[in-house]
Amino acid sequence: MAKVDLVKAVTELEEDLVIEAVKAQLADGVPAVEILGQLQEGMEGVGKLYEANEYYLSELIMSAEVFSNAAALLGSALAEGGDQKAIGTVILGTVKDDIHDIGKNIVSTILSCNGFKVVDIGVDAPIETFVEAVKTHKPDVVGMFCLLTTAFDVMKETVAAVKATGTSATVLVGGGPVDPNVAKWCAADGYCKNAYDAVEMSKQASGAN
Q: Which of 80, 98, 117 is the last residue of a domain?
A: 80
Give the pLDDT confidence score for residue 144 in this predicted structure: 97
46, 10 in Cβ contact below 8 A?
Answer: yes
Residue 76 covered by a domain: yes
Which residues, including other chains, have CB under 8 Å from residue 1's CB and lie 6 or more apart?
A: none
For residue 18, the domain's CATH number is 1.10.1240.10
- Nearest in space to 113 (alpha carbons), one of 26, 3, 199: 199
Give the pLDDT confidence score for residue 107 in this predicted structure: 86
Residue 1 covered by a domain: no
- Nearest in space to 143 (alpha carbons), one of 177, 180, 114, 103: 103
Give the pLDDT confidence score for residue 139 in this predicted structure: 97
* Domain housing 45: 6-80
* Residue numbers in the chain where pLDDT is lower than 50: 1, 82-83
Alpha carbon distance 203, 56 (integer Å) = 23
0.85 surpassed by pTM: no
110 and 201 share one domain: yes
147 and 189 share one domain: yes
Query: What does residue 92 show for φ and ψ, rounded to 5 degrees?
Result: -125, 140
Give the pLDDT confidence score for residue 43 in this predicted structure: 84
C-alpha 129 chain-centroid distance: 19
Which residues, including other chains, have CB under 8 Å from residue 116's CB and lie 6 or more apart?
A: 86, 87, 88, 89, 90, 202, 206
Give the pLDDT confidence score for residue 209 in this predicted structure: 65
